[in-house]
Amino acid sequence: PAQEEHREDPESETREGEGIEECSRAAVKDDPESKAEREPEASQKPVRRHRDMHCKVSLLDDTVFECVVEKHAKGQDLLKRVCEHLNLLEEDYFGLAIWDNATSKTWLDSAKEIKKQVRGVPWNFTFNVKFYPPDPAQLTEDITRYYLCLQLRQDIVAGRLPCSFATLALLGSYTVQSELGDYDPELHGVEYVTDFKLAPNQTRELEEKVMELHKSYR
């Protein structure tokens, strides 16, 4: 008998192809690796950026230096910024202080992070002399001597550094000389020293002695 000729049904092939394609799409949809590729970043935690902190430093010349440091900056980082601002090279004599109250201060540790030493914001500090040289002649920079003198004046006026009458008068005359230059009767009035704060309890007697010494400088 003659063999029956096998004919392929084109519609059947189409249905089979569609079925395979649907199975493939379903497999891809359910594949966890494929799902992860479609959602690469959605489930990841956002990267935290470091917060910059604003610092205010009161300087010895009554000005204020402001800058921004990274949140995890150390004390030495801020001190370096201040010294660069002041063109100060001999920075070992100086430090930054945190004031708990008007009479109590804590030195900022240069080796530790600032945020671990201060409470709250803003970050306020003062720039002060931390160590006085045993011999001022050891200093090589005039700017260093200048800031040491400013610190001495602050300590004397605030009463933190007790001085005799003679010492107060002598230091006061140096202060007036540095600010006004040589005495000039046409420029300076009778009570020109009263504009200067030279001692915690400044008296007329002290001012007269300061003027007497100042007039002798030529």
pLDDT number for residue 191: 86
- State mean pLDDT over 205-216: 94
Identify the residue with better confidence: 18 or 53: 53
pLDDT tens digit sequence for 63-116:
999 999 998 999 999 999 999 999 999 999 999 999 877 677 899 999 999 999
Residue 37 has pLDDT above 90, yes or no: no
- First CA to last CA across the chain, in angstroms? 144
Q: Does residue 9 or residue 172 have the better pLDDT?
A: 172
Residue 169 CB-density burial (10 A; 0-12 exposed, 13-18 middle, 19+ buried):
buried
pLDDT tens by residue, 170-193: 999 998 998 889 988 888 888 899
Where does the chain show beta strands of DSSP type E? 52-58, 64-70, 94-99, 105-107, 123-129
The pLDDT of residue 16 is: 53
Separation CA 145–CA 94 (nearest Å) = 12
Instruction: Please work out, in degrees rounded to the nearest 5, the angle formed at the alpha carbon of residue 184 by the alpha carbons of 165 and 148.
Output: 45
Conformational region of residue 156, where left means phi above 0, alpha means psi within -120 to 50, and beta covers everything else:
alpha
Note the pLDDT of residue 104. 79
Residues 6+ apart with CB under 8 A from 82: 57, 59, 65, 88, 96, 127
pTM score, two decimals?
0.66
Q: How far apart are CA 217 and CA 213, in angstroms?
A: 7
pLDDT at 10 over 80: no
Q: Which amino acid is at 50?
A: H
Per-residue pLDDT reduced to its tens digit, 109-128 = 999 999 999 887 678 999 99
Among 58, 144, 167, which Cα is nearest to 94's?
Answer: 144
Question: What is the distance between the alpha carbons of residues 35 and 182, in angstroms, rounded to a whole number?
Answer: 86
